[in-house]
Amino acid sequence: MEPRQIRIGHSPDPDDAFMFYALTHGKLDTAGLTFQHVIQDIESLNHLAVEGELEVTALSVHAYGYVMDKYALLNSGGSFGDKCGPIVVARKPMDVGELADDRIAVPGTMTSAYLLLKLLLMNFRFEVVPFDRIMEVVQSGELDAGLLIHEGQITYQQMGLHKIVDLGEWWHADTGLPTPLGVNAVRKDLGKQLMQKIAELLTESIRYAVEHRDEAVAYAREFGRGMDTAATEQFVGMYVNPLTLDMGMKGREAIALLLTRAYHAALVPRPVNLEFVE
């Protein structure tokens, strides 16, 4: 394959770092392709995808509803919660229904976490806050509640906060499906051969990380703000699961259902048309 540099966008969280470790650290024969990290928060990556900026990128399932014309999905590398997902926290215990009157900090309006909360509550007041400041603004009383992604899902109790709802638990109870949160996508204009090669390499990268777990977790820990090795292991274990290597029909069904519900609720602009690199 002709030498070429491929930019890979991923968020600064341990599960993405774990998955891309081998691919960006010379652990694989990449057949002349070189891969460059582009590390941005997930909402920034979602907006870059709308512009078609990166050849390969992690993005929110929600955001795929806006970029189906530019990107095809990869079967591997998806983040699916198994009865777990983004959580809403507050300074004091409350019922879910009370959230409708609160001001909720959210990590971005194109995140899957935001979409799930919209499908649950439909109408609520919110303010977009960088994901790594959400616990801080809730603890300080600046906002009433916060929608947590990344490591906040397992460290919120250290800040004295209370879980109000786990959106992954709610989604599973409602649908019986895993919670579709993140996917990896490749730009269609790269052409079929290159798209397929990238898909193969990403799967190999995840398999390498799973087979060399200690090595990959040690690297992933660099992205786990305030997390020790045990917490990093826990977080990676939440979102790197059998569906990560191959989402299969169950993963595809979950993505299709989430985006179909979003379309019917006028939360994404076009009907669902999932395209995968086979």
* Each residue's pLDDT tens digit, 43-56: 999 999 999 999 99
pLDDT band at residue 68 using 50, 70 and 90 as cut-offs? very high
pLDDT band at residue 217 using 50, 70 and 90 as cut-offs? confident
Average pLDDT rounded to a whole number, residues 183-187: 97
Start-end of CATH 3.40.190.10 domains in the chain? 4-81+180-264, 87-175
Average pLDDT rounded to a whole number, residues 157-181: 95
pTM of the model: 0.90
Residues 14-42: tens digit of each pLDDT: 888 888 889 888 899 998 999 988 999 88
Chain Cα centroid distance, residue 38 = 15
Options 3.40.50.10470, 3.30.360.10, 2.40.50.100, 3.40.190.10; CATH of 87-175: 3.40.190.10
CA nearest neighbour of 119 among 182, 73, 63, 174: 174
Q: Which residues are catalytic?
A: 150
Average pLDDT rounded to a whole number, residues 50-73: 96
What is the per-residue pLDDT for 226?
66
> Is pLDDT larger for residue 159 or for residue 225?
159
Average pLDDT rounded to a whole number, residues 234-252: 84
Residue 108 has pLDDT above 90, yes or no: yes
Average pLDDT rounded to a whole number, residues 170-192: 96
Residue 225 has pLDDT above 70, yes or no: no
> Is pLDDT larger for residue 222 or for residue 133?
133
Name the residue with tokens 């935001």.
114
Phi, psi of 151 (to 5 degrees): -70, -15
Residue 100 has pLDDT above 70, yes or no: yes
Q: Write down the CATH superfamily of domain 4-81+180-264.
A: Periplasmic binding protein-like II (3.40.190.10)
